[in-house]
Chains A and B, each alone.
Chain A
Amino acid sequence: MSFDKKDLISINDLTRSDIYRFIETAKEFKKISLKDIKKVPTLRGKTVVNLFYEPSTRTKASFEIAQKRLSADSLNVSISQSSVVKGESLKDTILNLESMKPDAFVIRHQESGASYFVSKITKASTINAGDGINEHPTQCLSDIMTIMEEKKDIASLKVAIIGDIYHSRVARSDIYGLSKLGAEIYLYGPYSLLPRSLDTQNVRIAGNMEEAVKNADVIIMLRIQRERASYYFIPSIEEYRNFFRLTRGLLSLASKNVIVLHPGPVNRDVEIAGSIIDENRTRILKQVENGVAVRMACLYILLGVQKN
């Protein structure tokens, strides 16, 4: 069973068995991060260009560390000091970097579809590190890996995804990925921040916070951005906190062994009570830890395996 696609743009690029293969591979790579010498020569001689058009702490660090642990040569193009500020287009930026013969682009961009656009104009592998409000497939994989470490069968799980679903690339990828694996997904948030059309199986919109959380095995909380209030999506952060925050009381309605995920960065006491984080009810740091392993697996599968 081989993976013969050049790119990872959407979680929908992966079949069920592809997803499991990525996770199995990530599990192996996770061991490397736990060793004293955290480096293998797997991608020696490969060049990866990291292009982050948007600020990022976790994803950017995670990809860089993954590359270093696999011995790839990484190049971080700092967008604010690049010719992008002189007005160079995305297309020209890629074509110019392409002539330096990189093996892969890792791209984070504020516009949906940017990674897809890049993948079409380069021979190098393209990994989507988040495009606009569209997708964030490697975050989805690290979420799935984090869930699978504690839960046996994803198909038997109730997963609640709560918050600004509409603008969340993590939610989009998680919905596609987790429903593909058979989880029952409940979405909740203000209707102004929920998707309008859902054609994904096993996904429904909960009538209220209680219904979303009740008996949930996994709760994925999403970050609410402050600027949403200025575009009429919500009245105010204060009101969001009052009606859409995960509290300890709500959490007690969930399954006994519930785990809480959040892709970060967290607004403490806005979308989630700080105490839930402090009491180790969340797996936020596990998600980050697994993020490195998942990104190593992605790079390995896309670049390391001999392809025709």
Chain B
Amino acid sequence: MQRIIVKNGIVVDPLTKTETKRDIYIENGVIKDFSGKKTIKDVKILDAKGLAVLPGLIDMHVHLREPGFEYKENIKSGMEAAIAGGFTSICCMPNTNPPNDSKSVNSFLLSKASSFNLINLFTVGAISKGLNGASLANIGELKESGAVAISDDGNPVDDSSLMARALLYAKTFGLPVISHSEDIRLRGKGVMNEGVVSQRLGVAGIPSIVEEIAVARDIMLARYYNARLHIAHVSTKGSVNIIRQAKKEGAGITCETCPHYFTMTEDSLLNYNTNAKMNPPLRTKEDIIAVKEALSDGTIDVIASDHAPHAEDEKDTTLDDAPFGIIGLQTSLPLTLRLYNEKKLALTDIARLMSLNPANILNLGDRGVIKNGFAGDITIVDINKKWVFTKDTIKSLSKNSPFINMDFVGLPLYVIVNANLIKAN
């Protein structure tokens, strides 16, 4: 029997929106009510005095690159980066080689992940076979072998008819569809946000409407077919407005943004910085304001990292040539804590955006709240800790982050998951 008590911490509850100083008890990986008076033997005690105790953070948008691109990242290194970022669960996207469009790849991922006995891995299966947008993947088989959602992330589903039937077919199995909403032909050869900076750099731009047109289409499809849709990596003011309006009208859709979209603008690319190249691209100040607003008013449901590792050599090239994507597991919570320090978000909001909502959207069992009978997934954070994110601290195999050498306040110190107390930092 494995027993852990976390003493004296500030327990953050996104459901009741309260922060309460209390002790919590985890027995064999499950949270149990206990009275402080009763003595429990053989117990590991962690003194969390002055620390925030959050329901285990969940990053629902991660690229682990295994199988196929293990030089960028593998399941183990990705999980280690996730631990350092304070996550107890991560969800990996299917754009590997071979892609996760079958039971065999899905089972491989899950069994390999569990062999490390670290954090929880949940898998997102493909919408289309081979992610080629031409025919549906065996979605029932993916669900049966453990996938919690489907997505062709990295590629949009260009064909509205395929997207419609994916939504309908996935609905049969109760699976949400995560859309990478992008009008790929309108994006063309764009490498960064279309605007003054792309003009100055003389590179092809990606108009904000590339995202917004596709967001609008996907919402219309989901509403028409009354199906579950989650929109990945929302980056523009226009998308936020479309989603807010749809929600106001009762659409049952959800969405996420990533920390970089509320932190950096297109200005970060002024020196052709390939480590600030991602898709969707960094936008403008106005978009940052809109995304922050949407985080506080509930229009945006989730903060996810879109952790996208690429080898240093691959990024050490021209802006045109470099691949899209940045790593984010270790900076996701710290960047979000900046919003806490700016008083834009409360800790309960962060617990909602990074734990409760992803758990509910993906049906991850009893997770997202610290409550009797729920999974004993806990993230313990020193919200006052000052530190610098240096290249040496990166656990990921790839180092493609625009946040290297940035100062932060707030660092996860421990995670508890699968009955293990693990030091995060």
Which A residues are within 8 Å of any B CB, using their own CB? 190-192, 194, 229-236, 238-239, 242-243
Find A192's partner among B135, B144, B159, B169 (CB 8 Å cutoff): B169
Is A235 a contact partner of B171 (Cβ separation < 8 A)?
Answer: no
Q: Does B165 contact A (CB under 8 A)?
A: yes
Is A238 a contact partner of B136 (Cβ separation < 8 A)?
Answer: no
B20-51 residues with Cβ-Cβ distance < 8 A to A are none
Q: Does B158 contact A (CB under 8 A)?
A: no
Do A192 and B165 form a contact, CB below 8 Å, given A229-B135, A235-B136?
A: yes
Contacts of B329 in A (CB 8 A): none
Q: Does B267 contact A (CB under 8 A)?
A: no
Is B172 a contact partner of A242 (Cβ separation < 8 A)?
Answer: no
A7 CA / B252 CA spacing, docked (Å) = 46
Contact with A along B122-138 (1 / 0, CB 8 A): 00000001000001111
Q: Does B168 contact A (CB under 8 A)?
A: yes
Find B168's partner among A190, A230, A242 (CB 8 Å cutoff): A190
A188 (CB) vs chain B CBs: closest residue: B172
Is A232 a contact partner of B141 (Cβ separation < 8 A)?
Answer: no
Is A236 a contact partner of B138 (Cβ separation < 8 A)?
Answer: yes
Do A232 and B138 form a contact, CB below 8 Å, given A190-B168, A190-B172?
A: no
Is B140 a contact partner of A243 (Cβ separation < 8 A)?
Answer: yes
Q: Does B161 contact A (CB under 8 A)?
A: yes
Q: Does B364 contact A (CB under 8 A)?
A: no
Task: Tell me how far the C-beta of B287 lies from the nearest C-beta in chain A, rounded to whole angstroms.
Answer: 34
Contacts of A194 in B (CB 8 A): 168
Is A232 a contact partner of B140 (Cβ separation < 8 A)?
Answer: no
B101 (CB) vs chain A CBs: closest residue: A235
Contacts of A236 in B (CB 8 A): 138
Known: A191-B169, A232-B136, A235-B136. 7 other contacts (CB 8 A): A191-B172, A191-B227, A192-B165, A230-B135, A233-B165, A238-B138, A242-B141
Is A191 a contact partner of B138 (Cβ separation < 8 A)?
Answer: no
Task: Tell me how far the C-beta of A195 lies from the nearest C-beta in chain B, rounded to whole angstroms.
Answer: 12
Task: Tell me how far the C-beta of B117 lies from the nearest C-beta in chain A, rounded to whole angstroms.
Answer: 31
Is B138 a contact partner of A239 (Cβ separation < 8 A)?
Answer: yes
A208 (CB) vs chain B CBs: closest residue: B172
Contacts of B169 in A (CB 8 A): 190-192, 233-235
B130-182 residues with Cβ-Cβ distance < 8 A to A are 135-141, 144, 159, 161-162, 165-166, 168-169, 171-172
B225-270 residues with Cβ-Cβ distance < 8 A to A are 225, 227
Contacts of A229 in B (CB 8 A): 135
A232 (CB) vs chain B CBs: closest residue: B165
A141 CA / B246 CA spacing, docked (Å) = 46
Is A232 a contact partner of B129 (Cβ separation < 8 A)?
Answer: no
Task: Tell me how far the C-beta of A136 lies from the nearest C-beta in chain B, rounded to whole angstroms.
Answer: 25
A238 (CB) vs chain B CBs: closest residue: B138
Do A232 and B139 form a contact, CB below 8 Å, given A190-B169, A191-B168?
A: no
Which B residues are within 8 Å of any A CB, using their own CB? 129, 135-141, 144, 159, 161-162, 165-166, 168-169, 171-172, 225, 227
A242 CA / B140 CA spacing, docked (Å) = 8
Task: Tell me how far the C-beta of B391 lies from the nearest C-beta in chain A, rounded to whole angstroms.
Answer: 44
Q: Top 10 A-B pairs ranked by shortest CB distance?
A: A235-B136, A191-B168, A192-B168, A232-B165, A239-B138, A192-B165, A243-B140, A190-B172, A192-B169, A191-B171
Is B137 a contact partner of A235 (Cβ separation < 8 A)?
Answer: yes
A231 CA / B159 CA spacing, docked (Å) = 11
Task: Tell me how far the C-beta of A224 lies from the nearest C-beta in chain B, rounded to whole angstroms.
Answer: 13
Contacts of B161 in A (CB 8 A): 231-232
A238 CA / B144 CA spacing, docked (Å) = 14
A239 (CB) vs chain B CBs: closest residue: B138
Contacts of A233 in B (CB 8 A): 165, 169
Find A232's partner among B135, B144, B227 (CB 8 Å cutoff): B135
Contacts of B137 in A (CB 8 A): 235
Can you list 12 A-B contacts with CB-CB less than 8 angstroms, sorted by A residue number? A190-B169, A191-B169, A191-B225, A230-B135, A232-B136, A232-B161, A233-B165, A235-B129, A235-B135, A235-B137, A239-B138, A243-B172
Find B139's partner among A230, A231, A235, A238 (CB 8 Å cutoff): A235
B170 (CB) vs chain A CBs: closest residue: A191
A194 (CB) vs chain B CBs: closest residue: B168
Task: Tell me how far the C-beta of A203 lies from the nearest C-beta in chain B, rounded to whole angstroms.
Answer: 17
Is B168 a contact partner of A235 (Cβ separation < 8 A)?
Answer: no
Task: Tell me how far the C-beta of B295 lies from the nearest C-beta in chain A, rounded to whole angstroms.
Answer: 32
B161 (CB) vs chain A CBs: closest residue: A232
Contacts of B144 in A (CB 8 A): 242
Contacts of B139 in A (CB 8 A): 235, 239
A192 CA / B139 CA spacing, docked (Å) = 13
B227 (CB) vs chain A CBs: closest residue: A191
